[in-house]
Amino acid sequence: MMLAGQFKWEENTMKARFTTVLFAASGLVTSQYAIAQENPAEQPAAVQQSDENNNDDSYGEIIVTAQKREQRLQDVPIAISAIGGEELASRGVFRVIDIVTQVPGVQVSAAGGGTVNSFNIRGVTQNAFAGSLESPIAVYQDESYLSSNSIVNLSVFDIDRVEVLRGPQGTLFGRNANGGVVRYITVRPTSDASGFASLDLGSSGRIRMEGAFGGPLTNDLSYRISGIRQRDDGLIKNDIGANVQQTDDWAIRGQLAYKGANWDALFKVQYLKENSNRGGYSHVVATNGVEVTNPSALDFGGYRDVDNNPFTGSFDFPGFNRNKVLDVTGTFNIALGDVTITSSSNFQDIQNQYGEDSDVSPNSVYHYERGGDMKQFSQEIRAAYSAGSLNLIAGAYYLRIAGEYYTRQFGQLFFGNDTEIATADQVTRSYAIFGQADIKFDDKFGAEFGIRYSNDRKTFTYASTNIFNIYQPGPVLFDTVYPDDGFSAKAQLNYRPDSDNLIYIGVNRGIKSGGLNFPLFPQDPAFLPFKGETLTDYEGGWKATLNRNTILNLSVFHYDYKGYQAFSFDGLATRIVNTNAKMTGGEIEFQAKPLDGLDLNLGMSYLTNDVRDVPLAASVTGNEKSPFSPKWTVNGLVRYTWEGADGMFHVQADGSWRDKQTFNLVVTPSQRESAYALFNLNIGYKNDANWSVSASVRNLFDQRYRVQSFDTSRDWGANEDTFGTRRWYGVNLTYRW
C-alpha cells in the first residue's frame, strides 16, 4: 500500500536548464537551417506536420486522422470538430479543458478547482474524481491514451491541432470512448529547420514561455525539441496564507523521426512536472442544499466569508497539486504494397498528489488529500489496406494500468487528532481485436462497418483505517476481481450526391467496461462493483461545402443507454451507480469567409436527456438529468485581418453562451447554474519577418459563473463552489523561423 508520505519531491536545476536550452538555441537552429538549405531531406510521410494543409485558404481542407488515416475534415463521415494550433493560440486555449468554449456540445467538470477534469460530450460524462476511475470520453495525445483524469489539464504546448470526435468511437479507439474522443496532435519533426519562441504576460502574475526548434540531422533523420514553462500568482487570494488556484509547471518534449525506403519511425519522450496549488473553492454558507443569504448565518465551524468575493478567501490548510509524468511513445510504419503495418507502443509513469482545504475556511474542519502512482503500458498493432474502393483497418490492442491510490481525510472538527486513510491497489488488464471497413459501391454510395471485441480484468484491493467503525469494527480490507468483456460495432451508409456534399446515417454501439468504486469511507463490498454500460447511437449528418469559403455541418443523434454509469455525490458518500438513460440532440457548425480578410465561425448544440432508474437511495423519484448538460450551447468567432505596413493586422472577438445546467446527478437548489455568456477580444500584428504581437482580454465583461460545485451543506454547513476565471488581460510576443 502507498501513503502520501511515500512521495518525495526533489528540487533541482532542470527548470533553469530547460529555459536556457529552449531560448538560447538560436545558434543551433541557425546552423540546422543552413544544413536544411544545403541538403533538404524528405519528410517522413507518417509523421509530417500538417500545417501546410491546415493553412489552406479554403475551409474544410484541414487534414485529420480521426479514422486512423489521413482525410480531409469534410470527407470524414462523423461529427468531428478540428482546430489548428495557431488558431488555438489566438483563442487563448492553453489548457485541454479550454476547448469547451470552442466546440459545440462539449462541457467539462472541474473537481478540485480544475485538478481533476472529465469531459462531457452530448451528455455523456462521469464526473467522478477518484484516480482509479476512467472517463467515458477518451483523451489522447497523439497515439497515447491518457487514462488518468489527474493529468488531463496539464499544459498544452507545441500543438498542431485538436480533434473532437462526438459519439461512440469504440471500434477504433476502444472501450472507454462511449461519448467520444478528444485528441491533441503535437507538431512533428520536419525536414526543414523551423521553430518558434513565445512569451505571454498577463493578469495575476501570469508568465508563460513556450518554444520549439527542430529540423534535419541527416537526409533521413529529423528532430524536434519543444517545451513550456508557466506560473502565476493564483486566481484566489488567500488572506491568511498562500494563494490558491495557482499554477507552476514546466514540460519538455523531444522527438526523433526517421524515414527509410518503405518504412518510417517516430520516437517521442516527454517529461512534465507540476508543483502548483490548482485547487480552491469559494465559501458559501448553505443548509440542506440551499444557499443562506442571511449575513449572520455561519457554517458549522462558526465562519462566513463576508466580502461576497469568490476570488478571496481564508484557507488554513495549504493546498497543493504535484504531478510528475514521464511519457514515452514509439511508432513504426512499414509499407508492403497496398498494406501499411503500424506499431504504436506507449509507456506512462504518473505520480500525483493533491490536497485541499475542503471546508474553505480558516478553521480546521475537513481537509482532503489524494494521490496515485501509476504505471501504464499500451501496445497497438494494426494493418491498413487501401486500394480502389476499399479502405480496411484491422488490429489488436493491449493495455495494462497498475496503480496505487490513496485518500487522507483529517481536520479537528470532523476527526479530532485522527486521520482517515483509504487506499486502493488496482491493476487493469485489457486487450482487444478490431476491424473497420470503408467501402465505396460507386461514385455516390458507400458504407462503413466496424466491430471490436474488448476483454477487461480488474484486480482491486481496498483498505481503510475505518476510524468511525462504519462498516465493521476496526480496519477494513477488501479484495476482489472484476472481469468484463463486450462488443462495439458500427454500421453506416454514406451518400455523396456530389463532391461538395456528404450525407451519412448509421447505428453505432459503444461499450464502457465496469469497475470498482473507491469510496472515501468503507461501505458494504457489494456496493463496490458497478457494471459495464452499453450505448446505442442512432445518428445522421450532412457535411456541405457551400462554396470554396463556406461550409455547413449538421448532425442529429438519439442515444439509448443501458447500464449508464452515473456518478452520485451525496456529501461525503460518493459512488457510481448503474442506471438507464436516453439522450437526443444535434449540432450545427458554420464557417465562412464572406469578404476578403473576414472569417466567421458559428457553432450550436441542442441536447435533451433523461437518466432513469436511479437507485432510490440516491434519488427520491428515480428520474434525473445528466450533469454538465445544458440544453443549448452557442459559440462564435469573428476575425478581420488586413494588410498594413510590412505585415498583417487582425482583430478578433469570440464568445460562447451556455444554457442553465446542473453540477450533480441528484440536484439540490445550490447545484443549479444559470445561463451565462463569455466574450473574449484579441488584437494583434504579424510582420513579414515572422514577429507577431497581440493583446487579449478574456471574459471581457467580467462574468461571474461557476464551473463546478459540490453540495457539502449537510457536512459542514457550506458548499464548495469553483468559479471560472474572472476578467483577464494579457499580451503575447512570438517569433517564428
Could you give the C-alpha distances from 136 to 346, 424, 445, 458, in angstroms and in order? Answer: 20, 21, 32, 17
131-139 average pLDDT score: 87
What pLDDT, on the 0 to 100 scale, is given for residue 666? 87
Distance CA 276, CA 248 (A): 5
Burial 265-297 (b: 16+ CB within 10 A, else e): bbbbebbbbbbbbbbbbbbbbbeebebbeeeee
Q: What percent of the chain has pLDDT over 90?
A: 70
pLDDT tens profile 16-66 = 443 433 333 333 333 333 333 333 333 333 333 334 334 444 555 788 999
Q: What is the pLDDT of residues 641-687, one digit of tens each?
A: 999 888 999 999 999 999 999 999 888 999 999 999 999 999 999 99
CA distances from 14 to 17, 273, 352 (A): 5, 10, 19
CA 699/CA 682 separation, integer angstroms: 11
- pLDDT exceeds cutoff 70 at 13: no
Report pLDDT digits (tens) over 353-368. 999 999 999 999 999 9
Count of other CB atoms within 10 angstroms of residue 540: 17
Please report the pLDDT score of residue 32 as a whole number: 36
Please, are residues 186 and 253 in contact by the beta-carbon 8 Å criterion?
Answer: yes
198: left (phi over 0), alpha (psi -120 to 50) or beta: beta
Whole-number pLDDT of residue 25: 37
C-alpha–C-alpha distance, residues 2 and 403, integer Å: 10
Q: In the predicted model, is pLDDT for residue 156 greater than 80?
A: no
pLDDT band (50, 70, 90) for residue 640: very high
Pairwise pLDDT comparison (318 vs 185), residue with the higher score? 185
CA distance 79 to 703: 31
Answer for the pair 419, 367: CB distance below 8 angstroms, yes or no.
no
The pLDDT assigned to 382 comes to 97
In angstroms, the CA 323 to CA 300 distance is: 33
- Cβ atoms within 10 Å of 614's Cβ, excluding its own: 23
For residues 510 and 561, is the Cβ–Cβ distance under 8 A?
A: no
Of the two residues 654 and 6, the one the predictor is more confident about is 654
* DSSP characters over 693-718: EEEEEESTT----EEEEE--HHHHSE
Return the amino acid letter for 730: G
For 575-612, the DSSP string reads EEEEEEEEEEEEEEEEEEEEETTEEEEEEEEEEEEEEE
Is residue 221 classed exposed, middle or buried when 0-12, 13-18 and 19+ CB atoms within 10 A define those classes? middle
What is the Rg, in whole angstroms, of the alpha carbon atoms belonging to the chain? Answer: 25
pLDDT range class, residue 548, cuts 50, 70, 90: confident
Report d(CA 213, CA 645) in Å as an integer: 28
Residue 687, phi then psi, degrees to nearest 5:
-90, 175
When divided into structural domains, the chain yields a total of: 1
Average pLDDT of the chain is: 88
Q: Are the CB atoms for 270 and 251 separated by under 8 Å?
A: yes
What domain range includes position 186? 4-736
Residue 154: pLDDT band by 50, 70, 90 thresholds?
Answer: low
Q: What is the pLDDT of residue 376?
A: 96
CATH of the domain at 670: 2.40.170.20
Pairing of strands 206-216, 672-673: unpaired
Beta bridge partners of 460: 426, 480
Distance between CA 30 and CA 734 in Å, rounded? 17
Q: Which residue has the cell 483509504?
A: 422
Least confident of 269-273, 651-655, 722-726: 722-726
pLDDT of 479 strictly over 60: yes
pLDDT, residue 92, reads 66
Mean local confidence (pLDDT), 509-533: 91
For 690-715, the pLDDT digits (tens) are 999 999 999 999 999 998 899 999 99
Which string of b and e fits 132-151 if b means at least 16 CB within 10 Å? bbbbbbbbbbbbbbbbbbbb
Nearest CA among 587, 455, 586, 575 for reference residue 525: 575
Phi, psi of 19 (to 5 degrees): -60, -40
Model pLDDT, residue 148: 84
DSSP 189: P
Residue 242 has pLDDT above 80, yes or no: yes
Element (H, E) at 458: strand 445-464
Angle at 147 between CA 143 and CA 149, to 5 degrees: 125
**Residue 557 reports pLDDT greater than 50:** yes
Whole-prediction pTM value? 0.88
Residue 424 pLDDT greater than 80, yes or no: yes
Taking only the tens place, the pLDDT of each residue in 369-414 is 999 999 999 999 999 999 989 999 999 999 999 999 999 999 999 9
pLDDT digits (tens, 9 = 90+) for 169-219: 999 998 889 999 999 899 999 999 999 999 999 999 999 999 999 999 999
Residue 96 confidence (pLDDT): 64
In 298-338, DSSP assigns E strands to 312-313, 320-336
Residue 120 parent element (H or E): strand 116-121
User: What would the pLDDT profile of 21-35 be if each residue is shown by its tens digit?
Assistant: 333 333 333 333 333
Q: Is the model's pLDDT at 348 over the cut of 60?
A: yes
677, amino acid identity: A
- Within 232-299, where are the H helices? none
Q: Residue 16 contacts by C-beta under 8 Å, 6 or more apart in sequence?
A: none
Task: Give the model's pLDDT for residue 8.
Answer: 39
111 — pLDDT class (breaks 50, 70, 90):
confident
Cβ atoms of 283 and 360 within 8 Å: the answer is: yes
Least confident of 86-95, 100-109, 678-687: 86-95
Q: For residue 36, what pLDDT is reported?
A: 36
**pLDDT given for residue 58 in this prediction:** 52
